[in-house]
């Protein structure tokens, strides 16, 4: 079912489209340390794709490769049917790949609204001088962007803190603001780096609900990293499992759950 | 009304005007500090360099004339044309943008994520380098700058105050122009920073590099833009100071006067730079007027620094600066 190029329909009736991003034989080294070793996988349009693995498996490195923060020594990244040349992170972002960070990277001194507005950077296309003079197109654009941002703020239920400087918010809300900012870019692929890290059960449930709703409502393709197995299995359509920089499993949650290598990696195995 | 009070009022107004000029220099510091965390020691020299370049272009001076003459044994000094003020200002701005690009390309791009003190040291180096380049490029003699700004006593104010107090206030037209320009500049900068795409990106870069990259902001573009803005503010300050007291090396020393202004206003606040400038301007003029005669004068040389020192002791973040909070 997965090899159909045109996509497929999931059990709960969602339509998953063709491949939008493909990683081919990615190898990433830091000096002598091999962080990622010859990994290939793809991401399909409209799906929730998870990358899981124990600590230090290379998940975050993989995400950084996708978002252009790291450049692999070997392998190719294919995006929307074309091989992607080595790019700077801001160029990747402008191509429609938005991300959040494991340790939250928000503009602490700016209000929630301004933070989410920066997410619209890609959509603001009027020229430097029009912007500087705040004339015609720049003004209309700002209003249109503002409307889009307010929709997202409503959607993620952060209206009540719109004007609050982000630095004052508690951890859980910061995570949500970061999601809002990434979402504001209307990304083709949304990368979430441990969206539930450090959250309590209730916050995790909220975040899971938002991720599912985002995917459902906007049809956003989501690739996320987690090491909480339970959450991942409930959320995602397909899962890549990494361990020590290598891929040890790839498939639906059920397939992965029954994969002996994965079980060994998570539960440990006696070496003799 | 007693004479002393009337004189005091005149001093007060002149202090305000002087304060505006301090604020103009301080503004350049605040801009760069807010956007990149760099305390730009070279801001004063940039003002000097901008003024030198402006005069040079207006007079049709050949840049590096001395150097060229020394090497090739020629005797060229001038192109023989004069460039009108407005065009010369635009050309100078082009030079300042080129300078901004070079500063980012050759210095600060390589110092990303370094300690603030290292960045500060780099700007000291930049200051001396730029001073030297300005010298070689345009010569070290004192030059007169006249871009057509009105100068001299303002007639209507003189007349008006004479009718009221029987004593005409001396207010310089140039100071009035400087006030107007500073006001416009601040309004424009605040609107730009708060509501435009690039302004928001500028604040974003100041806050978090990684996050800025992840929403598609090019750090290099923003840094060049910020240094260009600082170059623009330096140009405005250079024009005002240059017109007032001639374009000369001591222009770069007004940067030192901006330090107490910043300590008062806070390093991160644009309105703070203005209010700080005004307080210093009025403060030192009134102090000189009231206390000066008792201590033998020349209090203007130190008053600002003593005031700044008091602020450092009692309110280190300045009047408008962000309160320093450390989460533990």
Q: Which one of A99, A106, A120, A131 makes the best mutation probe of the B interface by having the most chain B beta carbons within 10 Å? A: A131
* CB–CB contact A105 B195 (8 Å): no
Which of the pair, B108 or B152, is modelled with greater confidence?
B108
The confidence score (pLDDT) of residue B282 equals: 93
Q: How confident is the model at residue A1 (pLDDT cuts 50, 70, 90)?
A: very low
Find the mean pLDDT for residues B113-125.
Answer: 90
Q: How many domains does chain B have?
A: 1
For residues A47 and A222, give the distance between their C-alpha atoms in angstroms, rounded to a whole number: 6
* CB hemisphere CA count around A270 (13 angstroms): 1
Answer yes or no: is B65 within a domain: yes
Share of residues in chain B with pLDDT > 70 (%):
97
Find the mean pLDDT for residues A6-13.
Answer: 72
* CB–CB contact A89 B203 (8 Å): no
Judge if A27 and A58 occupy the same domain. Answer: yes
Judge if A131 and A164 occupy the same domain. Answer: yes
The confidence score (pLDDT) of residue A134 equals: 59
Task: Give phi and psi for A158, each to the nearest 5.
Answer: -120, 25
Judge if A103 and A169 occupy the same domain. Answer: yes
Q: What is the dihedral of CA A243, A245, A248, A254, to 10 degrees?
A: 60
Asked whether the predicted pLDDT for residue B124 surpasses 80, the reply is yes
Cα–Cα nearest to B206, from B322, B49, B65, B42:
B322
Sort out which chain A residues have CB atoms less than 8 A from B213's CB and list them.
Answer: 69, 88-90, 93
Q: How many domains does chain A have?
A: 2
- Strands, DSSP E only, in A85-137? 97-99
For residues B23 and B186, give the distance between their C-alpha atoms in angstroms, rounded to a whole number: 10
The enclosing domain of B242 has a CATH number of 1.10.3470
The confidence score (pLDDT) of residue B183 equals: 86
Its domain, for residue A133, covers: 97-186
Q: From A64, which residue of chain B is nearest by alpha-carbon distance?
A: B214
For residues A162 and A91, give the distance between their C-alpha atoms in angstroms, rounded to a whole number: 28
Q: How confident is the model at residue A220 (pLDDT cuts 50, 70, 90)?
A: very high
Asked whether the predicted pLDDT for residue B304 surpasses 80, the reply is yes
The confidence score (pLDDT) of residue B323 equals: 63
Which of the pair, B49 or A4, is modelled with greater confidence?
B49
- Of the residues A133, A159, A186, which one is the last residue of a structural domain? A186
Task: Report yes or no: B308 at the A interface, CB cutoff 8 Å.
Answer: no
Q: From B323, which residue of chain A is nearest by alpha-carbon distance?
A: A109
Cα of A109 to nearest chain B Cα, Å: 7
Sort out which chain B residues have CB atoms less than 8 A from A105's CB and list them.
Answer: 208, 210-211, 214
Its domain, for residue B141, covers: 3-314
Query: pLDDT per residue over B38-97, tens digit each?
Result: 888 899 899 999 999 999 999 988 888 888 888 888 888 888 888 888 999 999 999 999
Strand partners of residue A34 = A29
For residues B137 and B66, give the distance between their C-alpha atoms in angstroms, rounded to a whole number: 8
The confidence score (pLDDT) of residue A2 equals: 45
Asked whether the predicted pLDDT for residue A22 surpasses 90, the reply is yes
- Of the residues A159, A186, A213, which one is the last residue of a structural domain? A186
Partner residue opposite A121 with nearest CB, options B201, B207, B322: B201
Partner residue opposite B218 with nearest CB, options A90, A106, A108: A90
The confidence score (pLDDT) of residue A154 equals: 92
The token duo for A215 is 């995917």
User: What rounded mean pLDDT belongs to chain B?
Assistant: 87
Strand partners of residue A28 = A36
Answer yes or no: is B321 within a domain: no
In our burial notation (b when 16+ CB lie closer than 10 A, e otherwise), range A78-112 reads ebeeeebeebebbbbbbbbbbbbbeebbbbbbbbb
For the CA atoms of chain A, what is the radius of gyration? 19
The confidence score (pLDDT) of residue A5 equals: 65
Judge if A80 and A115 occupy the same domain. Answer: no
Find the mean pLDDT for residues A147-153.
Answer: 92
* CB hemisphere CA count around B16 (13 angstroms): 12
Asked whether the predicted pLDDT for residue A265 surpasses 70, the reply is yes
In our burial notation (b when 16+ CB lie closer than 10 A, e otherwise), range B238-249 reads bbbbbbbeebbe
Share of residues in chain A with pLDDT > 90 (%):
54
Answer yes or no: is B35 within a domain: yes
Which of the pair, B27 or A62, is modelled with greater confidence?
A62
Judge if A52 and A109 occupy the same domain. Answer: no
> Which residue is it, tokens 């201590």?
B295
For residues A250 and A207, give the distance between their C-alpha atoms in angstroms, rounded to a whole number: 24
Between chain A and chain B, the number of residue pairs with CB atoms below 8 A apart is 87
Partner residue opposite A121 with nearest CB, options B192, B197, B219: B197
For residues A177 and A161, give the distance between their C-alpha atoms in angstroms, rounded to a whole number: 10
> Which residue is it, tokens 């001194």?
A109
């Amino acid at each position: 079912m997965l090899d159909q190029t045109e996509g497929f329909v999931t059990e709960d009736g969602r339509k998953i489209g063709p491949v939008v991003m493909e990683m081919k034989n990615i190898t990433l080294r830091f000096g002598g340390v091999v962080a990622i070793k010859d990994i290939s996988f793809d991401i399909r349009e409209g799906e929730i794709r998870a990358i899981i693995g124990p600590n230090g498996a290379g998940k975050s490195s993989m995400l950084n490769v996708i978002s252009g923060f790291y450049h692999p020594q070997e392998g190719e990244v294919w995006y929307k049917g074309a091989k992607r040349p080595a790019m700077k992170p801001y160029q990747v972002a402008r191509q429609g790949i938005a991300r959040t960070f494991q340790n939250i990277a928000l503009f602490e001194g700016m209000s929630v609204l301004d933070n989410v507005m920066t997410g619209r950077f890609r959509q603001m296309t009027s020229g430097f001088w029009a912007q500087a003079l705040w004339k015609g197109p720049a003004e209309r654009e700002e209003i249109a962007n503002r409307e889009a941002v307010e929709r997202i703020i409503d959607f993620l239920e952060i209206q009540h803190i719109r004007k609050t400087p982000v630095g004052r918010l508690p951890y859980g809300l910061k995570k949500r603001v970061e999601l809002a900012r990434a979402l504001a870019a209307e990304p083709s692929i949304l990368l979430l780096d441990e969206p539930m890290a450090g959250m309590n059960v209730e916050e995790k449930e909220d975040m899971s609900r938002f991720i599912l709703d985002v995917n459902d409502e906007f049809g956003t393709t989501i690739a996320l990293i987690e090491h909480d197995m339970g959450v991942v299995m409930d959320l995602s359509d397909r899962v890549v499992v990494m361990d020590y920089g290598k891929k040890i499993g790839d498939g639906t949650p059920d397939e992965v759950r029954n994969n002996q290598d994965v079980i060994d990696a998570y539960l440990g195995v006696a070496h003799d | 009304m007693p004479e002393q009070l009337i004189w005091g009022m005149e001093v007060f107004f002149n202090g305000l005007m002087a304060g505006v000029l301090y604020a103009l220099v301080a503004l350049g510091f605040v801009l760069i500090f807010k956007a990149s965390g760099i305390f730009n020691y070279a801001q004063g020299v940039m003002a000097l360099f901008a003024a030198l370049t402006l005069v040079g272009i207006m007079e049709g001076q050949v840049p590096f004339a001395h150097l060229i003459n020394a090497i090739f044994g020629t005797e060229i000094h001038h192109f023989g044309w004069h460039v009108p003020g407005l065009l010369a200002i635009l050309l100078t701005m082009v030079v300042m943008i080129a300078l901004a690009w070079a500063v980012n390309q050759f210095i600060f791009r390589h110092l990303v994520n370094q300690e603030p003190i290292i960045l500060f040291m780099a700007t000291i180096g930049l200051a001396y380098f730029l001073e030297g380049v300005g010298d070689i490029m345009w010569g070290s003699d004192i030059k007169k700058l006249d871009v057509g700004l009105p100068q001299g006593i303002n007639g209507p104010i003189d007349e008006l105050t004479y009718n009221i107090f029987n004593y005409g206030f001396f207010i310089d037209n140039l100071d009035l122009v400087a006030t107007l320009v500073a006001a416009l500049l601040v309004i424009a900068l605040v609107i730009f920073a708060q509501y435009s795409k690039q302004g928001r990106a500028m604040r974003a870069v100041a806050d978090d590099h990684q996050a800025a990259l992840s929403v598609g902001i090019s750090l290099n573009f923003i840094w060049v833009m910020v240094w260009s803005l600082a170059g623009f503010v330096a140009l405005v300050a250079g024009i005002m100071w240059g017109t007032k007291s001639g374009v000369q090396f001591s222009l770069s020393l007004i940067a030192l006067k901006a330090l107490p202004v910043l300590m008062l206003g806070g390093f991160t606040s644009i309105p703070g730079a203005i209010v700080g400038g005004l307080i210093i301007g009025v403060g030192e003029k009134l102090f000189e007027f009231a206390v000066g005669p008792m201590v033998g004068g020349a209090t203007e040389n130190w008053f600002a620094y003593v005031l700044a020192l008091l602020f450092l002791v009692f309110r280190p973040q300045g009047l408008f600066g962000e309160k320093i909070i450390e989460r533990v």
